[in-house]
Amino acid sequence: MPGIPLRSGGPAARIAVIPGDGIGAEVTPQAVKVLKAVAARTGRPLEFVDLDWSADKYLREGVSLPGGAVEMLRDEFDAILFGALGDPRVPSNQHAADILLGLRFKLDLYVNARPVELLHERLTPLRDRAEKDIRLMVFRENTEGLYVGVGGFFKKDTPDEIAVQEDVNSRKGVERIIRYAFEYARRNGLKRVCMSDKSNAMTFAHDLWQRVFKLVRQEYADIDSRHLYIDTLAMEIVRDPRQFDVIVTCNLFGDIISDLGAQLAGGLGLAPSGNIHPGKTSLCAVRKHTPGQDFTFRAGARLRPQHCRKGNRQSIGLRPRFRDDAGISWLEAGGRCAPHCSAGGSAGEPRDPRSRRRQTHS
């Protein structure tokens, strides 16, 4: 009997849990415990269903996304809790691309919401910045751009090789993500929206972003809106992050600028991410993962092992922040760790929060 999601009248919010590979399989059960604790405090019923989609399944059965998986997730679940994908036994990362990018595209999860929020001033590499100075939202268009895989090779592996990658931007796709950013700002009482592109170099694709932005902003006279080229934005977000409330940009630039913002807030281990289609099944996903990296929580807000070790414990607290159009309550990082908690890390002195190896999978 198919499950009925809460949005369709079911008794509980149904959450598909995909732990994935490596650290994802270790920490996702802990993330589920956190969600259960939150649900118990708020009285909201949750139902979790585990799905074993991973490198193990891919290597064993040759299956990444099973047949009918997208339809099942779309029709029977309210949300997806996603762990991490990436396994050295699959150097192509084909299963990861099939699952993560496949769900983004096939469920049309066009909003990639990436909050940047400093939880403690000691976590930022910036000097003289407090928690209130780094608090913004990056909205990344999630279904178009360079990630759609349009392109190819000519004379591959020869001295005359040519490689082409197309940047695909539709009027519909650009308008809906820009409008979502403005609506989010208005709904949450924020006064500043910045759209970023590279229209001085990408004179066709990002000219579309320019024209749509100029039209949509006219409907939101109560919000201060401006445009910055992506290179200028990268400089400005480091120089003075206080000037930003909401940033909206294309798929590639959103991937990059949100990682920069995450580093300003303490690193990718503290960076939540949501893949959203308002009113439909949405996915709370890991930002990035490389096998062997030791992030503690991979869905929602996460803490690194050094934040859990004895002698360096924090009480950051579970507290609801806001509810978006998909019905997802974003949460700040949670809870005081028990004295024995090492979250997969070895004992010893905490590492510098800025010493993160570069991630490889978006």
pLDDT digits (tens, 9 = 90+) for 148-185: 999 999 999 999 999 999 999 999 999 999 999 999 99
Measure the CA angle with vertex 230, ends 224 and 235; round to 5°: 90
Parallel/antiparallel/unpaired status of strands 79-84 and 282-284: parallel
- How do residues 116-135 score in pLDDT, each as one tens digit? 999 999 999 999 999 999 99
**8 Å CB contact between 116 and 246:** no
Q: How many CB atoms lie within 10 A of CB 154?
A: 10
**8 Å CB contact between 261 and 116:** yes
**Tell me, what's the pLDDT at 288?**
52
Give residue 36's Cα distance to chain centre: 21
Q: Give dist(CA 237, CA 261) in Å, integer.
A: 7
Is the confidence at residue 293, as pLDDT, over 70? no
Mean pLDDT score, 262-273: 87
Compare 232 and 267 and report the one with higher pLDDT. Answer: 232
Mean pLDDT score, 93-119: 94
Element at 196 (helix H, strand E): strand 192-197
Within 13 Å, how many C-alpha atoms sit on residue 154's CB side?
6
Is the confidence at residue 90, as pLDDT, over 50? yes
Q: How confident is the model at residue 108 (pLDDT cuts 50, 70, 90)?
A: very high
All domains of the chain, ordered by start, with CATH?
1-109+277-345 (3.40.50), 118-272 (3.40.718.10)
Q: According to DSSP H, which parts of 43-120 are helical?
A: 55-61, 69-76, 94-96, 102-106
Token pair, residue 94, equals 């084909």
Mean pLDDT for all residues in the chain: 82
CA dihedral 268, 269, 270, 272 (to 10 degrees): 70
